[in-house]
Chain A
Amino acid sequence: MRIKTISRSVDEFTRERSQDLQRVFHNFDPSLRPMEKAVEYQRALTAAKLEKIFARPFVGAMDGHRDGISCMAKNPNYLKGIFSASMDGDIRLWDIATRRTVCQFPGHQGAVRGLTVSTDGNVLVSCGTDCNVRLWSVPRPSLEDSDLSSEKSTEPSAVYTCKNALLAVDHQFEGDLFATAGAQLDIWNHNRSQPVQSFTSGSHSVISVRFNPGEPDILATSSGDNHISIYDIRMSSAARKILMRTKTNSIAWNPMEPMNFTAANEDGNCYSFDGRKNEEAKCVHKDHVSAVMDIDFSPTGREFVTGSYDRSVRIFPYNGGHSREIYHTKRMQRVFCVKYSSDATYVISGSDDTNLRLWKAKASEQLGVILPREQKKHEYNEAVKNRYKHLPEIKRIVRHRHLPKPIYKAKAESRAMNDAKRRKDERRKAHSAPGTVVTESHRTRRIIKEVE
């Protein structure tokens, strides 16, 4: 005869420390737990609701500028520092942790339109409508300087003058070249007062320029005549040119996928392109109701943040058609520049109301030290939510956002217009000979051609 008993050795069950967890044994036979799906669904629902409850994205505002903020630059070598410049020529270095100005860089006469920092974080380059390019040496952060009462100001280490007003500047990744955009595209070296190389194209000025972080010699520009161009600075001419229906305000390369970049367009959409195939966008990111002013990729390459003229900041997945998050406050005005922090945890926006705003990239993320068990729990919640995200109830809760009234109305209006247009197209198609009316896909609709 066999008798089944539970035998538990003392050695196995004695805890080493009183804080240790008791060993628990489970029988994982699924037949014993028929309700697992229901349980997990309920958990997903709870997780979705909790996420909503804990969503507090706004961390704080950085106040100090006397005019609208025109551009920002993050220090690639120092997480806490961010540079911002305003329309009155004021440049400031902020300490994000304390949200105070650390240093000021006076000198520009008109609006500062471009800011960038070298990869080692030592040189700040600024340019503006006063036709000057100024190079500054960035003060090194140290413990002694952390007493916040002293706001230092520094002199530029070099001033180079151009013929035309400058609209944008960007620094090469791990190199000592930087590019300015104005009437033409100029490539500069730190140590030379004249541009090393210049590219001219068309009669319109270049609006924005961005170096590729993966391929340091390749850069993309957008110009006032609705062109997006890709250059290789080792060559003398542009590689590719895309002609779009509307102007592109800013461009951001995906730092993890050097061939892909996303363009922030005047029509309120963002277009993701593959640098090798430009006749159609790979993805159209829609949600903003007004021009997208600036765009910055998360260092993880999985998301990007956009700031728009409609007074909102949105975060998009790199391959998703709609934003996952919208940030807005009552007092935030037109957003002119946005940056994703170098550790992909925060988002910083600079707007017309002279403030920089610091946001969490994940609205409900718990900051600070998280215990392993806590971490596990968070991960599980996220996983469960992700698994059941297609079910209507969870989808509704996760997607739900309160919008400012103007945005809400504008969205409704644009939706109505789009619907009407679509309906009309459908009817036109239905009543004409097959093949004569072709509906263009959204990915190619706003692109006129790729210039040969």
Chain B
Amino acid sequence: MGGLKRKSSSNAKTLAKSKKKKGPHLPNSILKVIASQKRPLNSDEEEDDDAIDSDDEHGGDLYEYEEGVPEEESRKNNRYDRHDNYDYELPEDFEDENVESEDDVNSENDEDDDRHTRMLQSLTGMPSAAFEGESKSKPVLFTEAYPEGEFNPTRDVLEGKNVLTEEDFLAPLEGKPGYHKTSKQIARMRKDTKHVVHAPLPKPQRERLERKAVIGLVDGEFSKWVHLVKKNREAPTVYFNQDVDLGYSTVGAIASEFQPRTEFEKKMASVLNDSEVSEAHRDDGARLLELNEVSMEDHIKNRDHIAKMRSLLFRHELKSKRIKKIKSKTYHRLKNKDLKNSSLGALLDPEMAKEEAMRQEAKRVEERMTLKHKNTGKWAKRMITRGLNVKYDGTRAAIAEQLQMNANLSRKMNSMRDGSSSDESDDEEELNDGSDEDTASRLIAKAKEKTLKTMEDDGVPNAGLMSLPFMARAMKKKNEEANEEAKRALEEYEEWENSGGENSKKPVSVSGRRVFGATAKVEAPKESKKDSDNFYDSSDSDNDMAGIEDNDMEDIRDNASPAKNTNRNITETEKFDDVAGNPASKTTFDVAMFTSGSWKKMAGCKNTESKKESKKTRVPISRDQDKKGSRDEESEDSESEAEQMVDGVLTSGSKETFEIPSQAELINRAFAGDDVLDEFEKDKEEVLNLEVPKPEKPVLVPGWGNWTNIQRKIGISKRMVMEHEAEEKERKLKLKTRKDARLKHVIISEKVDKKAEKLHTTTLPFPHTSKEVFEHSMRMPIGPEFNPSTVVRELNRPEVVKKTGVIIKPVKFEEVNPNDEVDDEHPRNHQKQRPKKKTGKRQGQVKSKDESYKFLIPWE
């Protein structure tokens, strides 16, 4: 306690002039801490030393406390006795050696310190740094809990204020031997601004800068892709994995990959891949036979095997014989039943049928192997050798049966069923059997037979419609006619047979056609007869027709079919390349057919005659002239024929003479009755009324709005009239604005066609910029019918071509020349590229990033 007192008194001594400092005397270091902690509490911005003074004045220090005078000393209420102070007191003029602290020394050493600071320092005994920071720094929260030191610098040091400079260190060295050198070096370092390390920036600013740098880098990375991406986007088709080999797809290719694994496969492979065999194959194959040699052992083995099989079969045979010998009725009944069942079951059950088929097959095999029924049996041989089969019918039948069985069993499978078709084919076979010469006569004979048969077979049906009396009569008549016809035909046959016999004797090779002609002739009369029956039923002059037929049937027939006619013209005369002549001849024929017989005859004759004439005349004339002449003739002919035709139709032979009227007159006369202009006007009005309907006139409906006199007087309401007028006006306007309003002779319909609507777009589709371009893009068809097959694939190629089942890897960087033209054979993309092409070219010259970017993004 005494010590404390002494200190306080010494304090009082030192700070005699100023206000007495109260509080405990603390060590310097702690005081410093207090100072640094005290600052933020009381210091506002830009505080001066005065503020500190005031601060001291009102004693805001946290650690300060008022140490009052002890009660015994204060002698307030005289409770304590007065006593002398026994403590040692220093004399007034005593100077303490330790008054100046280290800090003070420092501050003394520091020549830059201003006086004020020193004063403060001397007053408070605090380090100068505290005041320095207070005066200049902004308020910041301090958290240093440890004294300043090498590892714990003060804030001043951190902020770069009031730090020691090189001069400070150099000053004591002045005059020492290395001083000059060092100072020079330092000066050089100062000048060297390059290596100066600046203080770091605040964090947000720093981050922003960092981001900027990264952005530049990343954008650079991205920008290098631009050309590649642009190329991909512009390409009409992008291909993925086209170079990937998906492996084999054909059966042969897969088979070639085959590796034998099992023993059997290996054996097979060793045989198949035998070099000798393959070589022999590659050669002419002659050696194959040598290689195919069977060894003796194999042969014997094979033979033994067959013998064994035979013996087995024999035993089986014996067994079956024995079974057959069994006389037991019940046994046979059961057996039969089984058999029946099996045959029935074969029909019902497919499995049974299969079994049955198997059995049959076995039988067949057996038969083929043993040839049991082909007279190879012991019994049959004996019978044949002894000639018993001829003697006895039974034996013969049995042998025949055996043979039949053999034939049935050993027949090939596909001919198993006994077709009845053979019957039908018999005739043909017979026909084919004979030689060519025979066939004709045979055919005739056959025809004869048939006709005779039909003549005989004239039985009248007893029942039905045909049995009615009038039908019967008609039938009879027809039959008679047919009979007559048949007789005639028979006569003809006979005639022909006679002549044919002669013919056949001649060594003329009768071609198939001739033969056919003969047969055709057999049928031809019938046909013609029928035709004539149908065709000329109405005409009573049957004979006349016959006459015609007799006379120039052939000619008319030639004319009958225009095709034939043309053929003839072309092939025979080789002059009628103008086909126009043919219709004329046809028409003549038609006319001839339907006009009176006599005239027809005449025309036909004339026609043929004229033709003949033309033929005749043509012969001596040179080619060109000939052609011309024939043409002229032809035209003349046709003209004359036409005239005749007109005559025939219109005037029926009687000719009149009249003057030919002028064209206008003719037209006038033709359209005498009708007023075309008027009709058209009416039509137009109708159309107009339909498309722009007339408004209805307002009328007074009886019972509506005219009950009273007043109402009647008023008449139709004004509103209705007004409305009507407005509507009329509107209609007039509409009519005026129509396209055909001023065109008198034209109707232009303005009705909207709903079906045509479907074929139009309402607006210009998105990527297109002009109507023309859009229409151009739609102009050319792309189908295989409209384009050669070499182009179709190109035209229809989809935008992305990929292979299913193959992984598509992300894009790999490659250098792309931006000036390269994209192959734009694809017409679909024509319009897309067209507006952009300019930019593309410009881009080639101006290589700015923005340009390329714009080009790249289609939605911009």
Chain A partners chain B: yes
Residues of B with C-beta under 8 A to A325:
none
From A41, A256, A388, contact of B810 by CB (8 A): A256
B214 and A239: CB pair below 8 A? yes
B798 and A379: CB pair below 8 A? yes
A434 within 8 A of B: no
Do A36 and B211 form a contact, CB below 8 Å, given A235-B217, A376-B796? no
A26-B806 Cα distance, complex, nearest whole Å: 38
Among the listed stretches A54-62, A83-91, A179-187, A340-348, which one makes contact with chain B, having 4 or more residues with CB under 8 Å of it?
A: A340-348
A173 and B786: CB pair below 8 A? no
Chain B minimum-CB-distance residue to A277: B853
A9-49, CB < 8 A from B:
26, 28, 30, 33, 36-37, 39-41, 43
Shortest Cβ distance from residue A137 to the other chain B in the assembled complex, whole angstroms: 21
A235-B792 Cα distance, complex, nearest whole Å: 52
A386-B832 Cα distance, complex, nearest whole Å: 14
Shortest Cβ distance from residue B806 to the other chain A in the assembled complex, whole angstroms: 6
Residues of A with C-beta under 8 A to B792:
376, 380
Residues of B with C-beta under 8 A to A173:
810
B238-261, CB < 8 A from A:
238, 240, 249
Do A319 and B810 form a contact, CB below 8 Å, given A387-B828, A452-B208? no
A291-B613 Cα distance, complex, nearest whole Å: 100
Chain A minimum-CB-distance residue to B812: A214
From A76, A215, A452, contact of B807 by CB (8 A): A76
Do A390 and B765 form a contact, CB below 8 Å, given A237-B214, A256-B811? yes
A232 within 8 A of B: yes
Chain B at the A interface: SS class: loop
Chain A minimum-CB-distance residue to B209: A237
B59-78, CB < 8 A from A:
none
Residues of A with C-beta under 8 A to B758:
391-393
A309-337, CB < 8 A from B:
319
A345 and B232: CB pair below 8 A? no
Residues of B with C-beta under 8 A to A218:
218, 221
Q: Which of B207, B208, B229, B808 has the most CB of A within 10 A?
A: B808
Residues of A with C-beta under 8 A to B803:
343
Per-residue interface assignment for chain B, residues 200 to 227, with 1 indicating a CB less than 8 Å from any chain A CB and 0 otherwise: 0000000110110111011101110110
B786 and A36: CB pair below 8 A? yes
Shortest Cβ distance from residue B188 to the other chain A in the assembled complex, whole angstroms: 35
A322-B754 Cα distance, complex, nearest whole Å: 29
From B219, B761, B786, B800, contact of A33 by CB (8 A): B786
From A41, A76, A240, A383, contact of B218 by CB (8 A): A240
Number of residues in A with C-beta < 8 Å to the partner? 65
Among the listed stretches A63-71, A295-303, A422-430, which one makes contact with chain B, having 4 or more residues with CB under 8 Å of it?
A: A295-303
Shortest Cβ distance from residue B766 to the other chain A in the assembled complex, whole angstroms: 9
A40 and B214: CB pair below 8 A? no
B687 within 8 A of A: no
From A28, A283, A342, A376, contact of B859 by CB (8 A): A283
A232-B759 Cα distance, complex, nearest whole Å: 53
A230 within 8 A of B: yes
A356-399, CB < 8 A from B:
367, 369, 376, 379-380, 382-384, 386-388, 390-393
B101-121, CB < 8 A from A:
none
A258 and B223: CB pair below 8 A? no
Shortest Cβ distance from residue B252 to the other chain A in the assembled complex, whole angstroms: 15
Among the listed stretches B337-345, B469-477, B777-785, which one makes contact with chain A, having 4 or more residues with CB under 8 Å of it?
A: B777-785
B795 within 8 A of A: yes
A382-B781 Cα distance, complex, nearest whole Å: 14
Do A282 and B857 form a contact, CB below 8 Å, given A240-B218, A343-B804, A387-B782? yes
Residues of B with C-beta under 8 A to A30:
786
A257 and B210: CB pair below 8 A? no
From B223, B788, B858, contact of A319 by CB (8 A): B858
A1-B574 Cα distance, complex, nearest whole Å: 12
B786 and A345: CB pair below 8 A? no
A94-B828 Cα distance, complex, nearest whole Å: 41
Shortest Cβ distance from residue A444 to the other chain B in the assembled complex, whole angstroms: 13
B807 and A238: CB pair below 8 A? no
Shortest Cβ distance from residue B780 to the other chain A in the assembled complex, whole angstroms: 9
A393-B759 Cα distance, complex, nearest whole Å: 8
A237-264, CB < 8 A from B:
237-241, 255-259
Shortest Cβ distance from residue A57 to the other chain B in the assembled complex, whole angstroms: 15
A30-B805 Cα distance, complex, nearest whole Å: 41
A76-B808 Cα distance, complex, nearest whole Å: 9
Do A235 and B214 form a contact, CB below 8 Å, given A282-B857, A302-B799? yes
Q: Please give me the 5 A-B residue pairs with the lowest Cβ-Cβ distance, nearest first.
A: A299-B808, A213-B810, A259-B222, A255-B810, A383-B796
Q: Which A positions have Cβ atoms within 8 angstroms of B? A: 1, 26, 28, 30, 33, 36-37, 39-41, 43, 76-77, 79, 173, 213-215, 217-218, 230, 232, 235-241, 255-259, 274-277, 282-283, 299-302, 319, 342-345, 367, 369, 376, 379-380, 382-384, 386-388, 390-393, 452
Q: A28-B787, A213-B811, A240-B215 are in contact. List 15 more A-B contacts (CB 8 A).
A: A26-B785, A218-B221, A237-B211, A239-B215, A257-B811, A274-B853, A282-B857, A282-B859, A300-B808, A344-B240, A376-B792, A376-B796, A380-B792, A391-B761, A392-B761
Selected A-B contacts with CB under 8 Å, 20 pairs: A26-B788, A33-B786, A37-B778, A39-B781, A217-B221, A218-B221, A239-B215, A239-B218, A256-B229, A258-B811, A276-B223, A282-B857, A319-B858, A343-B804, A343-B808, A345-B804, A387-B778, A387-B828, A392-B758, A392-B761
Q: Which B positions have Cβ atoms within 8 angstroms of A? A: 207-208, 210-211, 213-215, 217-219, 221-223, 225-226, 229, 232-233, 238, 240, 249, 577, 757-762, 765, 778, 781-788, 792-793, 795-800, 802-811, 813, 828, 853, 857-860
